[in-house]
Amino acid sequence: MSDTVLLDAQQIVKHYGSVEALRGASFQARAGEVTALIGDNGAGKSTLVKCLSGAERPSAGRILLAGKEVHLDSPTTARRLGIETVYQDLAVAPELDPAANLFLGREVHRRGILGKLGMLDKAEMRRRAVEEFRRLGVTLQSTDVPIGSLSGGQRQSVAVARSVVWASKVVFMDEPTAALGVVQRERVLDVIRRVRDEGIAVVLISHNMPEVLSVADRIEVLRLGTRVARFVAADTRLEDLVAAMTGALTQEEAA
């Protein structure tokens, strides 16, 4: 397991008016590992991820990326620093093909005057997309059809691949296998493992505890807006996770 902490969130506080969604939550993600972030509904997982991906600004606390403090004031800033996010709703363009989705917002233009006129180099984008899909083990029935016509697992794999291709440090994956069948779920989990093996820090947010134990290297538990436990997945039982999430296991007992 890695000792290199890429993302280090320290005592993050987030207020929404009088509501305190995060009460000094801390979190770490290491290079070349999958760190699962778990907790019951209302624990603060989504709020913490929004703060760490630039979608929300924390009210207090520090965020360090590769040892340097950063201020993630927008998702654009986070992406520029090498942080990408795969949201549960995928955020893919169903009418576009997989290659166009992979380069969405980062389109490759043709050289010369045609590029200056805004014409896209679709052949180059398709070539690079096929190469990246092959590298990540993403198998598609076709790369020439609208992504909306693909299976749920294939659409999710493209969404994961898009974030991975552009991420250099951290990828957040919010419930990436939700509503998928067994075969599709395993396909997406295999892509996640390949991403981890490339040295990227993968943060998995999931309610599926058996899945968490099968793919995560480390697990951090939020409860009522703060981190209450940290586990090494290989040494952890499902009962330990449930106990930490419900408050039956204290931080000292879990550490």
Query: Tens digit of pLDDT for each residue in 61-120?
Result: 999 999 999 999 999 999 999 998 887 665 678 888 998 888 887 888 888 887 777 788
Domain covering 5-254: architecture: 3-Layer(aba) Sandwich (3.40)
The predicted pLDDT at position 170 comes to 95
Question: What 8-state DSSP symbol labels residue 120?
Answer: B
CA 115 to chain centre: 33
For the range 89-95, what are the long-range contacts, defined as Cβ-Cβ under 8 Å and sequence gap of 24 or more?
90/155, 90/156, 90/159, 91/159, 92/147, 92/155, 92/158, 92/159, 92/162, 93/147, 94/146, 94/147, 94/148, 95/146, 95/148
CB atoms within 10 A of CB 31: 19
The predicted pLDDT at position 254 comes to 47
Residues 237, 220 contacting (CB under 8 angstroms): no
Residues in the chain: 255
HSE-CB at 188 with a 13 A cutoff on CA atoms is 27
Which residues in the chain land under pLDDT 50? 252-255
The predicted pLDDT at position 178 comes to 76
Percent of the chain with pLDDT over 90: 49
Residues 177, 207 contacting (CB under 8 angstroms): no
Q: Where are the domains of the chain?
A: 5-254
What's the CA gap between 207 and 200, in Å, rounded?
22
The predicted pLDDT at position 252 comes to 43
